[in-house]
Structure 1
Amino acid sequence: MFALAPKRPYLSLMTTVQDTISLIGNTPLVRLAGPSEAAGCDIFGKCEFANPGASVKDRAALGIIRDAEARGELKPGGTVVEGTAGNTGIGIALVANARGYNTIIVMPDNQSKEKMDTLRALGAQLVTVPPTKFADPNHFVHTSRRMAEETEGAVWANQFDNVANRRAHIETTAPEIWEQMEHEVDGFTCAVGTGGTLAGVGLGLKAFSEDITIALTDPHGAALYEYYAHGELKSEGSSVAEGIGQGRITANLEDAPVDTQFRISDEEGLEWVRRLLKEEGLCLGLSSGINVAGAVRLGQELTAKLGRPARVATILCDTGFRYLSTLYNGEWLRSKGLPVPPWLED
């Protein structure tokens, strides 16, 4: 006879879905042991790397494409064009493939090789441009807009200023967190790229309870920390984090219910990336590490204010497998003046 394996708890039995894009969303929420211990409260991470495109941007991609279809702008055989640091492009390419559309992605040429290779593998037409300031007409966002205007049957996703982005988080991410935390949510925080996630989750959670504290977690080199702290768009320092860091108030960020703000260094974010990998078996990108660092600070502040252990959620944005040539490469880390973990020294 063989021995039965010991029983273990399961979240729930998976349900059958009608199509592959229905796999987007309904991601697990996990209590993070190390961050919870550091904060003296409960820190939860929304596992957005579990989406089909392995990032939180799948939600925005689906929301934007569905909105374009509903408005009659995107027709069968059409093309979706977008400027992106990579993850939104990957989400758009997957959703477009499932819906029968073509994809053109414009991307800064300093983003990870893994993202570029993934986009090409998905069949997207990839156009890379040098990184530059948003005011430059050759910025990747402006380049993508021009390409959309010049391509027959194309729509421009415009993730930064298309509020279908944040609406996707109001309608899906926020209620998922609320239900998964059994209606006991004290705070939420994440970094900003387009602003869709922070504003959408913030607005969605505030609709459940105005008492929930919404915090911006900003990397160095971005301007929003100073904006929410002192009313001025002003940046300091720099960051190697991809997909986050914003220098303007996008349409998605307008009226975002930001109650407080934190600024997190790459070193602090990377420390959490490494701890989550070695202690909890989660391989994540730097934006997730920065988010977790912000959640720890928010948890500490709320715990002191409430007089009890707070319950704080954040976003685990994407998989670390998308950064093997950068964050998980000792030579690259040394070239950026960042500490190299012992297991990558050789």
Structure 2
Amino acid sequence: MWYNNILETIGNTPLVKLNQLTKEIRGTVLAKIETTNPGNSIKDRMAIKMIADAEAAGLLKPGGTIIEGTSGNTGMGLAIAAVIKGYKCIFTTTDKQSKEKIDALRAFGAEVIVCPTNVEPEDPRSYYSVSSRLEREVPNAWKPNQYDNLSNTQAHYEQTGPEIWEQTEGKITHLVVGVGTGGTISGAGKYLKEKNPAINVWGIDSYGSVFKKYKETGVFDKNEIYPYITEGIGEDFLPKNVDFGVIDHFEKVSDKDAALMTREIARKEGIFAGNSAGAAIAGLLQMGHLLKEEDVVVVIFHDHGSRYMGKMYNEDWLRERGFLKDEKLTAERILKRRGTQEMITVDGEQSVMEAFNTMKTLHISQIPVTQQGMVVGKVTEADILHALLENPGTKSGKVIDIMTAPFPFVDRNTSINKLSALINKDNNAVLVEDTSGRLEIITQYDIINAISG
């Protein structure tokens, strides 16, 4: 048996029991692994449904251009369908999205326009507004509008819900889904509740999103809105695809818990899933006390971990945000091992010989150069030697005239791998700012001493 094209492989994704992450809670927890779709995400389902419905309605015509605001996954589904069906694609996305997602869209020939995250949806710079403007300007264009296009919900009512019901033999008691556009949870949840009204549908939300408060109070509170890192869930507006009547409860999950749990899924279950899966499992564990032994919980794993290699699966990225603290050496731990030392500097107006005498007296080979209390450069023994060889009179000149670029500045959570990469023949030290704003220097010697100690 074969398929006529890649679109026919969408759906019928496996349901896999989780064993390690959920062993402390009661019930059976099953993950719906949507990464087996051709675009490696659940969004393939609604992308092809939206296109099919638009074609049937005459909204998308041959040779047309699909224009959409997307965090990456919907764009991937649309782009794959466009390749098969002969459409062009222009996508707008936010600068919050991972580089891997953007590169993947471009791999399928799509044009991608990156817009700022921290603006209101109505702002002309937002990825919603830019996509709407392009739809008006580009001839023969169609905008799916995944947030308000109810074909999104219908796709999951027709496909995802029935699959889950059949795969669990009707035993499912809880559906747990990260909520972004709302199509997955609303469509699958509606189908499952029609089969058994007692099924609980739990939505996972992010701090900085409006969903949870709106569900509980009916109030759209703009004070709930602030920037967050978690990708694929939460919104700062109310998409039409979010059916609050289907969703029984929203659980908020922090950026840190979502990011770290994303990694744990790979390490403890061998499943390479994306950020929203981490949020969903973290949220489920927060609600674990509500479960009983006989419960059967299905959690949607929306997309693939390969789209988060520069973020949730990157230890330096996690450390820079204070999410990861482990036994690996960081700038902070190196400084603690060394102990506090006063950082020696030389003023840029001092003479070259004064700088050299300071270095000789203190047995150091390099020294940061300051001007009005700010680090503006560095001078090394090699810099002084080269300057004197070119012009012996330089010894009475100013340090600022022979200094080179300052040592790199790093965060206290920077890993030893990154520190080592920054220290080379041009930079034999880095500068670190402590919590009080005081600068400290880490040299090659400090790193060697920390490793050997």
Equivalence for 2:263: 274
Indicate the residue corresponding to 2:306 in structure 1.
321
Q: Distance between the aligned counterparts of 1:246 and 1:239, measured in 2?
A: 10
Aligned with 1:241 (options 230, 233, 239): 230
Distance 2:160 2:4 in 1: 20
- 2:62 paired residue number: 76
| Matched letter for residue 219 of structure 2 | E
Q: Would you say the 8 A contact 2:96–2:229 is kept in 1? A: no
Who is 1:161 aligned against? 148
The Cα RMSD (Å) is 1.9
Task: Write the distance in 2 (CA, Å) between the matches of 1:130 and 1:341.
Answer: 33
CA distance in 1, matches of 2:317, 2:70: 22
How many residue pairs align between the two structures? Answer: 328
* Amino acid of the structure 1 residue aligned with 2:151: A
Q: How many Å separate the matches in 2 of 1:135 and 1:216?
A: 26
Question: Quick one: structure 1 residues 300 and 179, their matched pair in 2 at CA, closer, same or farther if it must change by over 3 Å?
Answer: farther
1:256: how far off? Answer: 4.0
Deviation at 1:58, TM superposition (A): 1.0
Q: Does 1:103 align with 2:103?
A: no
- Residue 201 of structure 2 is aligned to residue 201 of structure 1: no
- Alignment check: 8 A CA contact 1:159 1:194 kept: yes
TM-fit CA distance, 1:62: 0.9
Of 267, 281, 285, the residue aligned with 1:292 is: 281
Tell me, in whole angstroms, the C-alpha distance in 1 between the residues paired with 2:6 and 2:60.
19
Q: Percent identity?
A: 38
Cα offsets for 1:254-297 (capped at 9, x unmatched): 45411122111122223322222112211222211111222334
Find the structure with the greater CA-based Rg: 2
Distance in 2 separating the partners of 1:262 and 1:238: 18
> Which fold has the larger relative contact order, with Cα–Cα distance below 8 Å and residues 6 or more apart in sequence?
1
Tell whether 2:173 aligns with 1:190. Answer: no
Equivalent residue for 1:181, pick from 160, 168, 180: 168
Change (3 A) 1:236 1:127: closer
- After superposition, the Cα gap between the structure-2 partners of 1:341 and 1:136, relative to the gap in structure 1 and judged at 3 Å, is farther
- Cα deviation per residue 1:121-148 (whole Å; 9 max; x = unaligned)? 1100111111222132321012101101
TM-score (norm 2): 0.69
Q: Deviations over 1:290-328 (max 9, x none)?
A: 11222334453131xxxx331111111111111111111
Question: Which amino acid in structure 2 is aligned with residue 332 of structure 1?
Answer: W
- The amino acid that maps onto 2:95 is D
Equivalent-residue separation in structure 2 for 1:100 and 1:167 (angstroms): 24
Pick from 134, 153, 162 the counterpart of residue 147 of structure 1: 134
Which aligned pairs between 1:307-346 and structure 2 lie closer than 5 A?
A: 308-339=293-324, 346=417
Q: 1:61 aligns with which of 35, 43, 47?
A: 47
- Which residue of the other structure, out of 24, 27, 33, is the alignment partner of 2:19? 33
Q: Counterpart of 1:21? A: 7
Contact preservation (8 Å) 1:160, 1:250: yes
Q: Which runs of 5+ in 1 are unaligned?
A: 1-14
1:121 corresponds to 2:110: no
Give 2:138's aligned amino acid.
T
